[in-house]
Amino acid sequence: MNVGSLRDFFHRSREWSRAANGMDLLQMASKDLNEFTDADTGFFVYQNRVQMSEQGHQNLRVFFPWGAFASAPEPLQSLVDNIAWSNDDVRLMMRQWSGIEDFPKDLQEQLAGYGLVELGLWPLTSQEAVKGVIVLGRTAARLPRFTPATRLTLLDACSAQVSLALDLLSVRRTAEEASFHDPLTGLLNRRGLRVRLPELVEEARAAGNHLMFGLIDVDDLKSLNDTKGHPAGDEALRQVAQIIQYHVSAHALVARLGGDEFATVLQVEKPDAHSFMVRIQGAISQYSDGHKVSVGGAILGLDGETLDECYQVADARLYDCKRLAKSI
C-alpha cells in the first residue's frame, strides 16, 4: 500500500472545504484526483443548485475533464445527455471500478477511442440529494498503485469529501443570502444593497440608461406602533415593501435600510426622479391600508457623481416632502 500517497492526498483534500464556490471545488478536486489516485482520466458531471432527476438529467454539464477525456472533451456532453442517471443499471455500477466491456454497448461505443480499461462512477450528494457524478477512468498507460480494496475506499472517501464540501458551500451560501436580506420584508438590507449596486451601475451604463436612487420613508410609523402595537407597524412595513416591489421593474433593487426607511435603485430612460417617486408615493397611498409615505429621488450623474451623493440629495428631498405634507 502506498501510504505516502494516501497521506498526501488526504492532506490536500482538506483544502477542498476552502473552495469559494462549486466550480472552484470541482477544479481543485480534479487536479488532486489526477495526481494522487489511480484515475488518470476523468471529469465531473454537475448541476449547480438543482437536484438531479431523471427528468432533469439532460441539464447536467461536464466540467474539468482531464487525462484522456481532455484530449476530446466535445463528445462527453453528448454522452452525459444520453445517460439516464437514475436508471437501475447505472445505479448498480456506482461506487465501483468496472471493465469497459461491462458497460452497455452504446456507452462502450461512445467511450471508444479514449483508451480506457476501467471506468467508475461515484455520486456527489448535497443535502441528501444527488447533485452530480465523478466519472473516473484508468487507461492502460498507468498501472494501479493501490490494492483493489484501497482503491475503492480512497474513491469513496473522495466522493464523500467533495459532497461534504458541497454541503459547506450550500450552508455558506444560505447564510450569506440571509445576511443580505431584511427578515421582516424579505427585501435587501443595507449591506445587500451595497453588494448588488455595482452590477446595476454597470448594466445601466451598458444600456445607456440613467440610474435613479429613491428613498421612501413611512410617515408616523412610531405613532402607529404606539397606538396599535408593533404587529400593526410590521404589517405596514410589509405592505409598503410589497407595493414598492410591484411598481418598479423586475431588475430594480429594493431595500429596507432600517426602521421606516426604504430605498430603490433602478434604471430609467428619462432623468426625472421626482415624477417617478411621486407615482410610488401615490401607489402606496392608494393600495395600502391608508399609510402615507414621504419620498425623494436623485439621478446619478445629474444630482450627484456618486451614489453616496445621490443618497444625500434624495434624503434632503424626502425631508422637503415630509415638511410640505405637515404644512398642509
* Interval 19-55: pLDDT, tens: 888 889 989 999 888 888 888 899 999 875 544 333 4
List the domains of the chain with CATH numbers.
Answer: 3-179 (3.30.450.40), 190-327 (3.30.70.270)
Task: Say how far residue 261 (Cα) sits from the centre of its chain.
Answer: 28
Q: Which of 121, 116, 119 minimizes the C-alpha distance to 139?
A: 116
The model's pTM is: 0.64
Average predicted confidence (pLDDT) for the chain: 86
In 197-246, DSSP assigns E strands to: 210-218
pLDDT in the model for residue 1: 47
For every residue of 287-304, DSSP letters joined together read HSSS--EEEEEEEBTTTB
Question: For residue 180, what is its C-alpha cell?
Answer: 443580505
Under 8 Å CB-to-CB from 235, ≥6 apart: which residues?
289
* Interval 120-144: pLDDT, tens: 999 988 777 888 899 999 887 667 7
